[in-house]
Structure 1
Amino acid sequence: MMLLMHSDFPHRAPGRVWAHTGQPFEAREYDVLVLGAGRMGTLCAHALRQLAPALSVLLVEAGGLPNEDGATLLAPGVWTALDVPAPRHAEARWVRAQLETAFGDVSFQTRPLIDLHATPGAQRRPSRDLNLDPAMVDPAALPWATVDEQAATYRPGALALNAAQAAIRLGADLLLNTRAHLHGPGRVRLERLTVTNTHRVVVHETHHVAAQTIVVALGADGPGAAEHDLGVHTTHARAYRQSPRVNVPSQDTTPLLRAHGLTLRPQHGGYTVIPPIHHRDPAGYVPAGGRLTGVPTGLRRETLEDLVAAMESLPALGTAALETGHSASDVPGAWLALPAGDPHAPPQHEEVAPHVHLLLGGPHADTLGPATAHDLAATIAGLPDRPWHAR
């Protein structure tokens, strides 16, 4: 794991990485603990080391690598300003610039997004003029379209890994394979995990670490951690989102498609289907598949209903090209944080206890997540200005 390259920052000592329990970890006090090494946590840790290099930072991840699993790895990776309210357009443009240049290779590619509609409207043009693949779109059913020429795709997992590497080069420490539990403001219990010879994951050792500030960037598990460990109430929630695949050929130049709330991202020679989030999932919900013509599938009922409703307009969804699986485990899926419990809410952060900040990405993290993580880092650093204000 090449995390300790520091040639780009010759005047700063790189941080340390503890990947397994064979590497002794001695607990000490840090200025900031960042819990969770998905893209929100890694971007916040990196921004902290950039904006406030005097602050010591420890990034803690339960997995073996940043973004090893969870919502970051399965995030759509679609940047588009179509869903962004006007007051946040400057943030979205700043994020786009960062994705293009700031974090190395994240497979960033400008790719127009075609938003298809059944009725005319402002800035909509005839979809028949866009040379769409008839296997994917019936222009008679969706005769109008809005086009975001500046839309783009990238790999959120690569962004998280690259941001973690950059943070370490700037002096942040990284503790992998470690579960974190909040013990009140300023204190965290860290459980270092190992695997037995029977392949069971067990707690090898426990440490208690103090910090002036704690950032909870645990994704969909973050609100629950704050509520259970700190006894605070939050308005946030989570939902389970799956991403089925459509095996219709796509190319590097194939545009993104969106209709009926579904986004179809060209990926790996076909399309990844990103369904809409309709509501929060209740506590205790266990993902399970629905039924299509009485036959069990691996798609949850709400997602299956969305696909069935779109089959006439998007013909490939009604063919064997759609992979539905036989059980929920056959179709990639992950728990997604819902800031404010709202599928349409943008990423946000809030102080849920003194010096304990909850950082959430959610459905719009692709476009606004990096700006929100940077904003929290600037807040912790006590800096009033944000880089997008000048744009």
Structure 2
Amino acid sequence: MTGPEPVPAGPPPDPTPPRRAGSVWAHVGQHFTEEAFDIVVIGAGRMGAACAFYLRQLAPGRSLLLVEEGGLPNEEGATILAPGVWTAQDIPAGQEAQAEWTREQLLGALGSGKTLEVEDRPLLHLLPAGEGSGLTPTLDALADFPEALALLDPARLPVARVDPRALTYRPGSLALLAAQQAIGQGAGLLLNTRAELVPGGVRLHRLTVTNTHQIVVHETRQIRAGVIIVAAGAAGPALVEQGLGLHTRHGRAYRQFPRLDLLSGAQTPVLRASGLTLRPQNGGYTLVPAIHHRDPHGYHPAGGSLTGVPTGLRRELLEDLVGLMDAVPALAGEGLELGRSSADVPGAWLALPGGRPDAPPQAEELAPGLHLLLGGPLADTLGLAAAHELAQRVSAG
């Protein structure tokens, strides 16, 4: 009697088991019973989500939780209101390599093989005569874009510094993509949860909405964390100071994004004059004003007045726009949406690393195992590089 036929040997087992997708706790009906994580990242904007994604690549064996106060990984702050602009004109000296690396990550969707809506859109920095050499006449630079030329007076801004490699993208989409990839590689995501720092860990306040549309704390849990990364944007320094009593040197400013409701096309370049950026979007232009200084503690955004008429724009923003009206006459027309209160004009708080409006993104270790990650005004061009550098330091620790 013969035995059963031998089973042919299959391929040897893969010594590296496949990564399991992480868990998502989206609402209080999903019970959260975890007690500890190796790494907790607070804030699922693009900086926090990207850092979590890089950490899953560099330290796949360490447990990680991404905590977000909102309902989705998003840019609830400034960058959901104004799409990002990567430009070589913003690169501080010595950070050219980081900027190029960030550009490659945007084009390659963080190296994940996924697609991010990134558009090639040149940026023209418009300048008065005599501002430098190697510049392009404005009339030549905008010869194919009459809709953009109609916004300005080329006699007052006759030359332009052109960045033909500039890109535009949506930071909110970048945050969502990075968070999805991090979850797919094993990170946990806890939504609708307000984080509070405590010694040795994080206190989590899970939020819900009542029948009268009030946001309330449904339950509070505390977890231990070996490493905590605070990537909560402009709220990050306050989170550290209030929770642990650690002083930081960082600041914040309130930035509004008025709309110029005049025609723009799919190929219209990004324009910049005296620090004001006109970013073509949805057939018009989003205005991204310059940041001059940090706002004082306790400041509450309020509108100003134009020729005695109350508007929703901050007074200093109004002063900037009035100063540009001769060079960019479109700002004096009916296309500029002023609003009647600050609530009518989208705006958000913006972190200022080191309290300076020209400082690049940075990560600071405030205490052993506690890191503060800030993007700031140059996050469009350098943010991903700063998030990756922090992930490298944490994974090596």
Q: Is the shorter-chain TM-score for this pair beyond 0.5, marking a shared fold?
A: yes
Partner amino acid for 2:320?
Answer: D
Partner amino acid for 1:311?
Answer: M
1:100 to 95, 107, 124: 107
2:140 to 112, 121, 129: 129
CA distance in 1: counterparts of 2:37 and 2:254, whole angstroms: 34
Q: 1:116·1:145 contact (CA, 8 Å) conserved in 2? A: yes
Alignment of 1:67-106 (within 5 A): 67=74, 69-103=76-110, 104-106=114-116
Give structure 1 stretches of 5+ with no counterpart: 1-8, 384-391
1:52 to 59, 63, 66: 59
Residue 76 of structure 1: CA displacement? 3.6
CA distance in 2: counterparts of 1:75 and 1:44, whole angstroms: 22
CA distance in 2: counterparts of 1:346 and 1:85, whole angstroms: 7
Partner amino acid for 1:266?
Answer: P
CA distance in 2: counterparts of 1:75 and 1:88, whole angstroms: 24
- Residues 188-241 of structure 1: CA distance to partner in whole angstroms, max 9, x if unpaired? 100001111111111111111101100001100001111111111111000000
Residue 74 of structure 1: CA displacement? 2.2
Partner of 1:324: 338
Alignment of 1:261-340 (within 5 A): 261-340=275-354
Indicate yes or no: 2:263 matched with 1:249. yes
Alignment of 1:1-391 (within 5 A): 11-67=18-74, 69-103=76-110, 104-120=114-130, 121-130=132-141, 131=143, 133-184=148-199, 186-382=200-396
CA distance in 2: counterparts of 1:25 and 1:346, whole angstroms: 37
Name the TM-score, length of structure 1 as normaliser: 0.93
Partner amino acid for 2:136?
Answer: R
> What SS does the corresponding residue of 2:95 show, helix, strand or coil?
helix
Q: How many pairs does the alignment contain?
A: 374
Residue 259 of structure 1: CA displacement? 0.3
CA distance in 1: counterparts of 2:152 and 2:123, whole angstroms: 14
Change beyond 3 A, Cα 1:313–1:94: same
Decide which moves more: 323-332 or 61-70: 61-70
Q: 1:349·1:360 contact (CA, 8 Å) conserved in 2? A: yes
Q: 2:120·2:165 contact (CA, 8 Å) conserved in 1? A: yes
Partner amino acid for 2:182?
Answer: A
Q: 1:67·1:157 contact (CA, 8 Å) conserved in 2? A: yes
Q: 2:82·2:288 contact (CA, 8 Å) conserved in 1? A: no
Partner amino acid for 1:364?
Answer: L
CA distance in 2: counterparts of 1:281 and 1:112, whole angstroms: 32
Q: 1:27·1:208 contact (CA, 8 Å) conserved in 2? A: no
> What SS does the corresponding residue of 2:226 show, helix, strand or coil?
strand
> What SS does the corresponding residue of 1:323 show, helix, strand or coil?
coil
> What SS does the corresponding residue of 1:206 show, helix, strand or coil?
strand
> What SS does the corresponding residue of 1:82 show, helix, strand or coil?
helix
Q: 1:39·1:72 contact (CA, 8 Å) conserved in 2? A: no
CA distance in 2: counterparts of 1:152 and 1:313, whole angstroms: 25
CA distance in 1: counterparts of 2:159 and 2:77, whole angstroms: 36
Moved over 4 A (4+): none
CA distance in 2: counterparts of 1:134 and 1:82, whole angstroms: 21
Larger Rg: 2
Q: 1:105·1:158 contact (CA, 8 Å) conserved in 2? A: no
> What SS does the corresponding residue of 1:321 show, helix, strand or coil?
coil
> What SS does the corresponding residue of 1:86 show, helix, strand or coil?
coil
Give structure 2 stretches of 5+ with no counterpart: 1-15
Q: 2:128·2:157 contact (CA, 8 Å) conserved in 1? A: yes
Q: 1:112·1:255 contact (CA, 8 Å) conserved in 2? A: yes
Name the TM-score, length of structure 2 as normaliser: 0.92
CA distance in 2: counterparts of 1:286 and 1:183, whole angstroms: 28
CA distance in 2: counterparts of 1:377 and 1:139, whole angstroms: 46
> What SS does the corresponding residue of 2:94 show, helix, strand or coil?
helix
Partner amino acid for 1:32?
Answer: I
CA distance in 2: counterparts of 1:240 and 1:76, whole angstroms: 17
Q: 1:262·1:276 contact (CA, 8 Å) conserved in 2? A: yes
Q: 1:75·1:366 contact (CA, 8 Å) conserved in 2? A: no
CA distance in 2: counterparts of 1:72 and 1:382, whole angstroms: 30
CA distance in 1: counterparts of 2:82 and 2:354, whole angstroms: 19
Residue 10 of structure 1: CA displacement? 9.0
